[in-house]
Structure 1
Amino acid sequence: MSAAKLQLLRHAMERYAPLSQSTWKQVQQSCSERKLAKGEILVQIGAPSQHLYFVCQGLLRSYTLSEDGKEYNKKFFPENTFPGSIRALLTGGPSDFALQALEASVVLAIDHPAYRRLLEKAEDLKWYHIQYLETNWVLDKEPIEVGLALSDSSARYQAFVEKHASILHRIPLHHIASAIGVTPTQLSRIRKL
């Protein structure tokens, strides 16, 4: 695992809160590198997971399946983001969604049990964790949920474009359609408006 990839992780974490050298050293020790081919599944639906992930390179998506096998995209994870099923990690249960590489990707796998043990004793890591959760699970997620419930498909598409402008060209259109809750044909019509 390269020092450059670890520095990417540290920089991403310290956007939320600074970490002491001692804490950072312990975080590093819980990391391993994983390379993914385009299309490779990192986490299967229904499988437990013992890792948080950090995207160093590439693009991942999280998705779930309906009872009839239809895919529904939940979120996209480009470089410098943290994909994973937090619920599955916290409960020890199966993941409700899969993580799949949309491009050849490199991720750092952070051992969750080791991370939790460190979280219990490192105040700076606790502060990082709080800031991360507030930003990504409250401030970012709430408007998305309200938008899905109250917006029409054109408004959802525009919001998606604004939120993902820097990676839009990397996401296949059928995945965008799934993410905003329309068919690819409906998306084609929306894009022509």
Structure 2
Amino acid sequence: MLMIFGNRDIDITIFIEELKKRVTVSTGEVERFAQLWDHREYKRNEFIQRAGTVPRFSMFVLDGCLRQFLVSENGIESNVYFAEERHFVGDLPAMRNNLASAYNYQATEASQLLTLSRENWEVVFSRFPWWAEAHMKGYQKWAAAMQQQLADMQLRSGEERYLDLLKKRPSLFRRMPQHYIASYLGLTPESLSRIRKKLAGN
């Protein structure tokens, strides 16, 4: 489905599909809901939101890929999440409570996003009651994935974590630099390289 943002027709089909996976809602209702979102484009490596600032919006990825990461006091980056097409992403607690976020969000390739401002978050919950259910289902799924990721760091070997990510999200290995993947897996680039060479030789 095409929708006009500014003076451009933007295909929001996958946005509608993702919402309908979570709740039963008409296409017309979703279209009215989408009118409260904005369309934004980012270049490869462009920052979308920086740590230390209050997030201005949450995001849905229409096209492209983002990384969510932390930076330690000594400047070491730790990737905690990769958002490809169909992913909702953002620091909602910081945004909704008007607090500075600890996270950075960066486009790792040219990306198109739908964004929902802090002000419109309050509007959609009052105007579209079904959004609360849709949001909660997605948030619970994300929280479970983050908890599993933390557990895997403690309980599974680097090779097991690598194989699991390769099975679940193979596209990341075509889209992300190896050092980003290594950081996400809690490995050094050298360790990841050794794992890949070992498995390639089997």
Equivalent in the alignment of 1:156: 161
Does 2:188 correspond to 1:176? no
After superposition, the Cα gap between the structure-2 partners of 1:102 and 1:53, relative to the gap in structure 1 and judged at 3 Å, is same
Equivalent in the alignment of 1:92: 98
Residue 129 (structure 2) aligned to one of 112, 123, 129: 123
Moved more, 46-55 or 163-172: 163-172
Bigger relative contact order (CA 8 A; separation at least 6): 1
TM-score, normalization by structure 2: 0.87
What are the superposed Cα offsets for residues 29-70 of structure 1, whole Å, 9 maximum, x if unpaired? 221111111000001011111211111111110011011001
Distance 2:175 2:124 in 1: 36
Distance 1:21 1:116 in 2: 22
Does 2:143 correspond to 1:141? no
CA contact (8 A) 1:17 1:131 kept: no
Equivalent pairs counted in the alignment come to: 192
Does 2:198 correspond to 1:189? no
CA contact (8 A) 1:27 1:115 kept: no
Distance 2:81 2:59 in 1: 14
CA contact (8 A) 2:47 2:106 kept: yes
Paired AA for residue 104 in structure 2: A
Equivalent in the alignment of 1:36: 42
Paired AA for residue 107 in structure 1: L
After superposition, the Cα gap between the structure-2 partners of 1:85 and 1:119, relative to the gap in structure 1 and judged at 3 Å, is same
Identity, % of aligned positions: 25
In the TM superposition, structure 1's runs of 4+ consecutive aligned residues that sit over 4 Å from their partners are 20-23
CA contact (8 A) 1:65 1:72 kept: yes
TM-score, normalization by structure 1: 0.91
Structure 1: any 5+ residue segments left out of the alignment? none
Residue 137 of structure 1: how far off its partner (Å): 1.7
Distance 2:35 2:59 in 1: 14
